[in-house]
Each structure stands twice: as C-alpha cells, then as structure tokens.
Chain A
C-alpha cells in the first residue's frame, strides 16, 4: 500500500482566482488513469480543543456541525459526517484521525483554512483528512454575520467540501486590488477559492455547482438514472486544450455548473445535471493562480467562446460529444 499526503490551500481573503465556473474533483493516478479521491465510509471527525482569539473550539464545533449538515442535506448525494468528540490533538498530524481545529499560522496571512489528506493511492480512498482554520483571523459565528469578521461556518462549508474530495470551483469573478491580490466581485460556488467579503454569510448556502460536484462524487442511488451529463472537447487550432473551463447554463432553471477540460485532448465531462438543454461557455483561467486548480501549466491564451448550439443533458446518459473551438486572443 502506498501513502500520499497533500495540502490544499482552500480559502484566502485575497489571493488569485479564476473568472468563471466549475467544480473540480480531487483525483489520484492509479495504473495510469485518474480516479476520484473519496471516502469509502462515513467521515468520522474530531474537533480540536484549541480556541482561537475570536472563536472557541465549541464555536468551531457548532460551525462544523452546521456545515456538515448542509453537505448531508444534499438530496442527490449520499454524504455522511459523524462527530466523534473533542481531542487534544492538533490538525495536520498523521494519527489515523480526522481532526478539525484552529492553528496559529500568522505567516499564512491570506489563508483562512486548509485541508490535508492521507490517501490510499492504490484505490483513491481517503484514509484521513485534517482541516485547520487560521486562528489569527477575526472569526464570526453570529447567525447574521459580523461586519469585518470572517464567517466561520462559510469557511467550514468550503473546507468540508475539500475534505469530501472536491477541488476548487472557478465559478466567480475577481478584480485586482492595489496590494496585488484579488477581490471577489462575484461568486457562484462555495468551492470558489477566494472567500466573499468579511461580514457576509452568503457562502453558508451550497450552490448548484457545489451540489453537482458532491453528487458526482457521492451520487444518491437514483442519480445515475435521473440526471444527465454533457461531454465534449475544447480545441484550439485543432488541438485539445487542457484546462479550458467549460460552463453549462440551463436557461430554464438558471443553474450554472461547470468543469474543466481535463485531458491533453481537451475532453471535458459535466456530470450530474438536471436533464435539459444547456448553453456552453468556454473561458480561460487567464487571471487566476492556475495552481489553485492545476498542478501543470495550461494554455490560457484564448478568447471566451460558446458552443454553436445548445446541448441536451439526457436523463440517465450523456450527450454526444460536442467540439467547442476557441481562437487565440
């Protein structure tokens, strides 16, 4: 059995991000193919007893419980998170326990929280995942939010998404700030890598992109027959375009869900969609820190493009592949 540890920077107040939409799953290579990284049993977690200056361990326990309830309430997914108790252990230790807690990491002045994993690389099973919340930040657990403070439940919802195997979504728009970071202008997913403005509680509610992602990882029994998918290929000059971001928009429901072209051939799959016709929009991650999404270099030199027609996500199946051609800027 092989073991692999990884660290995901999950949410920063000011960082770099991408202006579009998509959920991304964590994956690992097994025998040359990428498989999803998922839990194969209920997630049993502990809460660290350490308090932060502005929030207690009990506050954290409550925020995590509410966030866990939000993920478990997704009807199209089967997610189970079980609180096991408080612990004196800190998150980040390889001890066979999934621990969530505050850590004092003032040097990570843009990181609100992060999730690390222990993964069985033979089959992609998550064996342990720890989440830390950066204690020096001013946290809020007020039901209405607190001006100037970061909502703990919102960040917990994001981190639990990582803990369950979701990567970052690119469903959002940002703008550069004077300090060189980026400010979120708009967001369409809790799994967007940059947090909303301090004081807001908008990210306590999962968005369709998040729901599609978790339903893809842990589909409820009826999901394979009641939802559909869209497949296709993004090309530039006839060649596949790895990393192109494809957004599916349902004009009837207003739902936005996306994914990336994840192969060198530019193939993409957007799964767990409500059956119906979708408009497809392709956008580069051209103003993002690409390493928030990919560990390899990707081509971002192309213009926004649309599929030439609407594509139907059929119930219980996938669309015929559609090619979306883009051109250089």
Chain B
C-alpha cells in the first residue's frame, strides 16, 4: 500500500507537469553548485515479528512449541534534517550528495502472553544517519511560471545507533521518486537563485535494525530550501 501511494503521488506530479504551458521556465545553470537544506518525513515500517517459544512437553519427536509471548517490532515514522550539495551538469541534470539525521523510535507490541495483557512498549530511540548520493533529471516541462518537475534516484549508507549508543547497525537505502523545484528568485539568468524543492520518494532499506533481515519499503516526503550559486 505504501508503494502504491508513493506511485500515485509521482503520477500526480507528472500530470501537473504535463499540463503546463509553453512559456519558458526557470532552470538550473550548468556547472553551478546548488546548496540544499530542509526536512524530510519518513514513514514507519515493520522490522520483524518474533515469538518467544519454549519446547513443548509432549510425546513424539517434534511436539508443538509453547508460546511465551509474541513481539511485533517496527521503526516509527520520523522527521529528519537534511543537507545536500549538488552540481548541475546541465540545465536538466544534477548530481548531489547529502546527509540526514533523524531519531525514529523502535516500537514493540507484545501479545500472546498468557499472563499479561497485550501492550505496546514505549520503545527505544535510535539515532539514524544517512549519507547518500542522487541524480536528478528535470523534465522538459514546467509547472506554472516558476516551477519545474524532476525525477530523482539514488542510494546511500544507513547508520543506526541504539539508544545507549553501544550497538551500531548499518545498511543501505535506495530510493526513487519525483518532485517539483520552485524558484522564488532568479533561475532565468545569471546570479544566485533561491527556491523551494519538494519531492516524494519510495525508499527501500536493506540492513540496519531488522530482526528478519528483509528489505523494507517506506515513503519519504521532503521539503527543502535551495540556493543555486
């Protein structure tokens, strides 16, 4: 469902772009640096179901196990701070590198305990760092007078530190999506340009804290202020 919602948002962005007129829109100036900073919101995702089991005492070689309790864990949605540095290869292509920091929680829901009610534990707070690189392609269409849509794809290194900072888990993130860059000032000639950028991505996480070592997909929404030097 999460992936479908992301895909829906991307289609919406593209439809908006397709509906734009023919007037020339602002664009990146080739061979210039673009500084970028803002926040992004990451959706939550499960990190595994586990059941605490004892060996059943019954006849036969493999009696059914006894469930002491079951635990469902997830990483909660979180807001991260994001900084990025890009380089415009052309007016449409931009490469960028970024780093983000967030503090999601690991929540645990307990169930199937015969001696305790189902309950949600308060969970622990992670410190999460991502260092990534991406490629952006600005579509040859505009949205309104000062905006231009783009698609983005990239990947990076994930670093998650448990609450007591005694255990580090690492992994990778890969993402793809689309968004709109809106010029508040400049963008059509020489000089510094300032604007806003928003995007929605489908992010695939591999590694990091995960009790089942599965790939997890979750949505990310970002809003940034950019300065094109």
Partner-B contacts on A (CB < 8 A): 19-21, 147, 171-173, 183-188, 196-197, 199-200, 202, 207, 228, 247, 249, 251-252, 254, 256, 275-277, 279, 281, 283, 303-312, 314-315, 317, 319-320
Contacts and interface: CB of A to CB of B under 8 A. Distances in A.
B66 A186 contact: yes
Given A249-B71, A281-B69, A309-B121, A172 B113 contact: no
Contact of A172 (B54, B110, B164, B167): B54
29 contacts: A19-B115, A20-B68, A21-B54, A173-B66, A173-B68, A183-B57, A185-B57, A186-B55, A186-B57, A196-B57, A247-B68, A249-B52, A251-B50, A251-B71, A252-B50, A252-B211, A254-B53, A277-B167, A281-B69, A283-B115, A303-B115, A304-B113, A305-B116, A306-B119, A308-B122, A309-B121, A310-B108, A312-B162, A314-B166
B21 interface: no
B56 interface: yes
B123 interface: yes
Contacts of A247: 52, 68
Contact of A303 (B59, B116, B163, B209): B116
B121 A304 contact: no
Contact of A173 (B54, B58, B71, B108): B54
A256 B68 contact: yes
B73 A251 contact: yes
A199 B58 CA distance: 10
A147 B110 CA distance: 38
Interface residues of B, number: 35
A235 B106 CA distance: 24
Nearest to B163: A309
A312 B163 contact: yes
B59 A186 contact: no
Nearest to B209: A277
Contact of B54 (A186, A251, A308): A186
A284 to B, nearest CB: 9
B24 interface: no
A197 B122 contact: no
A187 B164 contact: no
Best-buried of A171, A183, A312 by chain B (most CB within 10 Å):
A312
A184 B57 contact: yes
A208 B195 CA distance: 58
Contacts of A185: 56-57, 66
Contact of A252 (B48, B108, B164): B48
A303 B121 CA distance: 16
Interface in B102-147: 106, 108, 110, 113, 115-116, 119, 121-124
Contacts of B19: none
A187 B115 contact: no
A21 B55 CA distance: 12
Contact of B57 (A187, A228, A281): A187
A274 to B, nearest CB: 11
Contacts of B73: 251, 310
B76 to A, nearest CB: 13
B191 interface: no
B55 A275 contact: no
**Residue among A185, A228, A251, A305 facing the most chain B CB atoms (10 A cut-off):** A251
